[in-house]
Amino acid sequence: MQINSVAQLDVAGGIATLTLDSPPVNALSAAVRDGLDQGFRAAIEDEAVQGIVLICAGRTFIAGADISEFDKAPTGAPLHDVLALIEGSPKPVVAAIHGTALGGGLETALVCDYRVATPSAKLGLPEVALGLLPGAGGTQRLPRVVGAEAALEMMAIGKPVRAKDALAMGLVDAITGEETLHADAVAFLKARLDTPRTRIRDRTDRIAGQDPALFHAFRAKHARAFKGFKAPENIIKAVEAAVTLPFDAGMKREAELFWELFRSRESAAQRYFFFAERQTAKVPDLAADLPEIPVRRVGVIGAGTMGGGIAMNFLNVGLPVTIVEQAQEALDRGVATIRRNYQVTVDKGRMTAEQLEQRMALLTPSLEFEALSAVDLVIEAVFEKLSLKQEIFARLDKVAKPDAILATNTSFLDVDAIAAATGRPESVVGMHFFSPANVMKLLEVVRGAETDPQVVAAAMAIGRRIGKVAVLSRVCDGFIANRMMAPRMAAAQALILEGPLPWEVDQVMLDYGFPMGPFAMLDLVGLDVIGWDAATSSSSSVVEILCEMGRWGQKKGGGYYDYDEKRRAAPSPIAEQVIRDFAAKTGVAQRQFSDAEIVARLLYPVVNEGAKILEEGVAIRASDVDVALVYGYGWPVFTGGPLFWADGVGLAKIADALEEMGHTPSPLLRALAEQGKPIHQYRSVAPVGRVVEVA
């Protein structure tokens, strides 16, 4: 019997099967909720039905709420009412889970009497990633099934559990066959038709006598990771309510804590970012029917830190990689580093020794450029010198096969100038990985003036294939992320002459939510590699003076900070004196700055640069800029990124402050401020034809 457009009810042998079929992930849309409501009512009222199986068609069980409905007027059956109906069923209910049961999907399964799952299934309550908590009883039911500690790990961290772990925890009652889920679920239920049932809401065995110290310990353990986020704390409070209050009172507390989060700026930022990340895959002017460029073998030029990290991305997904170096010693060192990185993963239990060897077997080291003649994609990852890269691409042009994609990993050089060294600029694209390349999620795909759309589409798809978030950029100095953050570094170096010391500036940035301050970052990278030239150095800046003193950063035991033998940082009296002396020499007045002033001095210019990037059409949309900064520089996601954050501060306030600082606000920034329009919704390129998502 067809219940509605997404739900079907079938009865056989006394068992009703309610099947949901709402691609792509059976999210809890209004139609799905209505299907559940009407389907369960029909099954309950049917006297021939003794038990009910809830199952989903397609690739997954209910994979969560339909968050596109979050900010819309509610329609359809309310989820809480639907779950109450299922939980109150006089007939036993089993949830048959495959794929993923996430968020509202797992909360739906938790109101069923039983849960069975395929071996490959995953279950979780990841609402924390949206700045929310599970708001349909998850915070109250999950602890009653798995205990408070395991529930906290699942909800406040947000990491799903595999079926076998869910079985061990008591979250599922049985593992089915991978291909026999429905039959096994029916058999499981038939064997329990006469078994007394206890609703999860009525269970106390896993939460009785819970030591309150657990919650204090959990907060302390994750204090650093939770800093700046409201959702983890509210989840902890909700679980505390689960173990101290009756169920109905706990549900009321859950609702209060949920709506507090839902109305918060932090959750709005995280929900915005959720959609922003998915928007990056949509490139407006790529034709829907572009032929795919198959990539089966990859070449990497340069076996240094960056080249090795890039190679690992492809080895991780089973793609053979040929890595080329000039000297045997450098090649051996690079291969050894790749193996060592994998060994660390093995030592942590995240990879087997067999998997390590399988990946290393895919790597072909070579000293011969001709070894790249058969690859489908070659990525150059050598020193940032234009003439060197042009020389390499001229050689590649002669060696690479005609349809190969030629990519440069340059972080700021002109991709068009590099492409001009070849006779096929249409095949050249920027693929800018961030260091460490095997860890950082951002990949900037840089579209040159002559890059073929097919090559752009391929580069974006390759990024997603290796687990990166690919953001498309046009050619400019520094592209999106590096260009955006350059003004922060310039502002920080100017600010320390006016009073605040490097560690004070860094602390303000840490308090804002960055993982590292600008001066700690400079010391980590090395002051000598950010543009210092010993041959021309003339004590014309604090950086030059520190470098002339041999204070190049961590590697030398001192830079802006002093470092002990374990590279632990401490404020440096030497650096402080250098700064004070240089400020006096150059006549810069000193004064006290509030934390808010430091934030404004460092971050308002970043917003201004973002507006310029949009004006110039370097980025497709403002949300791409936010994604690039979050994944490229650790901009705190609970702010949504610089442009979403700017709308919360107020564009007029930022534009006025920029003028007071001596900066010229971007015309776009000023125009949006005057029009009262948000910048985070701005699109710099009007779609041409159909918008295509690059899979």
Write out the catalytic residue numbers.
107, 127
Contacts of 103 (CB under 8 A, 6+ apart): 63, 64, 65, 124, 125, 126, 127, 134, 138
Q: What sections of 539-588 are H helices per DSSP?
A: 542-548, 573-586
For residue 207, give the amino acid letter: I
Q: What is the DSSP letter of 72?
A: S
**Angstrom distance (rounded) from CA 606 to CA 485:** 6
Tokens of 172: 């599922």
The beta strand positions in 193-334, using DSSP E, are 282-283, 298-301, 321-324
Comparing CA positions, the residue from 43, 36, 56, 38 lying closest to residue 10 is 43
Q: By the 8 A CB rule, do 15 and 51 touch?
A: yes
**Residue 9 token pair:** 């009810």
Exposure string for 226-235, b = 16+ CB within 10 A, e = fewer: beebbbbebb
Q: In this structure, are residues 514 and 640 in contact, taking their beta carbons and an 8 Å threshold?
A: no
Cβ-contact 445, 584 below 8 angstroms: no
**DSSP-assigned states of every residue in 265-283:** HHHHHHHHHHHHHHHTTEE
Element (H, E) at 472: strand 469-474
Judge contact between 443 and 460, C-beta under 8 A: no
Q: What would the 3-class secondary structure string for 597-665 be?
A: HHHHHHHHHHHHHHHHHHHCCCECEHHHHHHHHHHHHCCCHHHCCHHHHHHHHCHHHHHHHHHHHCCCC
Residue 689: how many CA atoms within 13 Å on its side-chain side? Answer: 9
**How many Cα atoms within 13 Å fall on the side-chain side of residue 311?**
34
| Of 385, 408, 386, 411, residue with least CA distance to 397 | 408
Alpha helices, H only, 348-414: 353-361, 386-399
Compute the chain's Rg from CA coordinates: 28
Side-chain half-sphere CA neighbours of 5 within 13 A: 6
Q: What secondary structure does DSSP assign to 88-118, as a single string?
A: T-SS-EEEEE-SEEETHHHHHHHTSSEEEE-
CB 234 within 8 A of CB 260: yes
Cα distances from 282 to residues 279, 470, 689, in angstroms, run 5, 10, 12
Is 81 within 8 Å of 140 (Cβ atoms)? no
Distance CA 17, CA 51 (A): 9
Dist CA 406 CA 425 (whole Å): 9
Distances (CA, A) of 274 to 144, 223, 674: 30, 23, 28
CA distance 422 to 482: 26
